[in-house]
C-alpha cells in the first residue's frame, strides 16, 4: 500500500538580513532575464544528480542557477523575487516525490514551472540512498547525460513560450 500525505504547513523561523553574494547574483540574473533553474539537493544520490543537472543547465542560455533554500526560506530576498517575477522557472526534481518541487508549486504560478524528474531520464540508483555510494565520475556522467537529454526540450519550450508571449502582448 502506498502512503499518501495531505498538504501541511511547515513553520519556519524568520531571518534578519540577506546574503550579499546571492543578492548580487539574483539581481544580475533578473537584469539578464535569465530563467531560474532550481534542484532537489540532498545527500540522496538522486538529489545529487538533480543538483548536478541543474548546475549544467544553469550554465546554458537562457538559464541561470538559483538557490532553493534562499528562494523558499528568505521571502524578502532578491532570489525569491527572481522566481516570482520570472516568466518560466525550471525545477529539476531528483525523483517522483518532487520534495522541493512541491514547495515551489506553492510559491509561484504553477503554469510557469517546468518540472523535470531526473530519475525518469537515467533510471539508476533506485536501491541506493547515499550519493557517496556511487563513484563521483559516474555521478558526473549521469548528470551530463540527463542534461544533454533535457536541454533541447527545455530550450524549445522556452522559445515557444516567448513566441506566444510576443503574439499576446504584440
Predicted confidence (pLDDT) per residue in 58-103, tens digit: 999 999 999 999 999 999 999 999 999 999 999 999 999 999 999 9
Asked if residues 129 and 44 have their Cβ atoms less than 8 Å apart, the reply is yes
Domain positions in the chain: 30-169
What confidence score (pLDDT) does residue 164 get?
Answer: 62
Confidence band of 167 (pLDDT split at 50, 70, 90) = low
What confidence score (pLDDT) does residue 102 get?
Answer: 96
Of the candidates 28, 159, 12, the one whose C-alpha atom is nearest the C-alpha of residue 81 is 28
CB atoms within 10 A of CB 55: 15
Distance of CA 76 to CAs 29, 45, 120, Å?
17, 31, 34
pLDDT tens per residue across span 90-102: 999 999 999 999 9
pLDDT tens per residue across span 9-65: 989 999 999 999 999 999 999 999 999 999 998 899 999 999 999 999 999 999 999
Strand partners, 65: 37
**DSSP secondary structure string for all residues of 117-140:** EHHHHH---TT--BGGGS-HHHHH
**Fold observed for domain 30-169:** Rossmann fold (3.40.50)
Q: What angle do CA 167, 169, 170 make, to 5 degrees?
A: 65
Amino acid at each position: 500500500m502506498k502512503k499518501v500525505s495531505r498538504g501541511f504547513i511547515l513553520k519556519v523561523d524568520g531571518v534578519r538580513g540577506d546574503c550579499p553574494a546571492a543578492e548580487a547574483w539574483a539581481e544580475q540574473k533578473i537584469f539578464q532575464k535569465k530563467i531560474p533553474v532550481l534542484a532537489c539537493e540532498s545527500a540522496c544520490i538522486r538529489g545529487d544528480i538533480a543538483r548536478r543537472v541543474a548546475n549544467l543547465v544553469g550554465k546554458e542560455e537562457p538559464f541561470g542557477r538559483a538557490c532553493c533554500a534562499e528562494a523558499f526560506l528568505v521571502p524578502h530576498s532578491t532570489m525569491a523575487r527572481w522566481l516570482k517575477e520570472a516568466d518560466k522557472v525550471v525545477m529539476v526534481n531528483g525523483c517522483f516525490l518532487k520534495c522541493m518541487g512541491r514547495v515551489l508549486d506553492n510559491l509561484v504560478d504553477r503554469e510557469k514551472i517546468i518540472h523535470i524528474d531526473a530519475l525518469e531520464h537515467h533510471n539508476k540508483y533506485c536501491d541506493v540512498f547515499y550519493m557517496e555510494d556511487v563513484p563521483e565520475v559516474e555521478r558526473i556522467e549521469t548528470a551530463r547525460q540527463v542534461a544533454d537529454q533535457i536541454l533541447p526540450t527545455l530550450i524549445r519550450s522556452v522559445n515557444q513560450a516567448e513566441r506566444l508571449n510576443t503574439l499576446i502582448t504584440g
